[in-house]
Amino acid sequence: MILGESVFNFFDELKKSLKDPTIATNYNIVNISGKILYVEGHTGICMLSRQVISFKCKKTLIVVEGENLVLNELMDKTLKITGEIKSVEAL
């Protein structure tokens, strides 16, 4: 990478392409085939079990339900959940 060159961010580019100012910029969630959930922007874990994992993203509570769920915190605000993901709900 050349000094001063910006890194491509898929989520930012997608939001720009929609040109919709109401799109939330607080967090990003990607569900990959119901086996992996990738999250950017979480602010803390609220509940952790093999069937339910919940976490906060600013003022939103995200509840993930499934079977054999495993939480892997990748970085400070980024996490990955693996297992049989049945539902993801924002409350």
Residue 17 located in a structural domain: no
For residue 81, what pLDDT band results from cuts at 50, 70 and 90?
very high
Residue 8 located in a structural domain: no
Residue 43: closest CA among 70, 8, 19, 78: 78
- Global pTM reads 0.77
CATH number for 44: 2.60.40.2000
Q: What is the pLDDT of residue 9?
A: 65
Residue 69 located in a structural domain: yes
Domain span at residue 79 reads 25-90
**If 0-12 CB within 10 Å is exposed, 13-18 middle and 19+ buried, where does residue 53 land?**
buried
Residue 16 located in a structural domain: no
Residue 72 located in a structural domain: yes
Q: What is the pLDDT of residue 17?
A: 72
Residue 66: closest CA among 81, 44, 46, 45: 81
The per-residue pLDDT for range 33-76, each reduced to its tens digit, is 999 999 988 999 999 999 999 999 888 999 999 999 999 888 88
Residue 7 located in a structural domain: no
Domain count, the chain: 1
Residue 14 located in a structural domain: no
| 21 vs 75, more confident | 75
Q: What is the pLDDT of residue 20?
A: 66
Residue 30: closest CA among 38, 41, 22: 38
Residue 83 located in a structural domain: yes
Q: What is the pLDDT of residue 26?
A: 75
In angstroms, how far is CA 41 from the centroid of its own chain?
Answer: 7
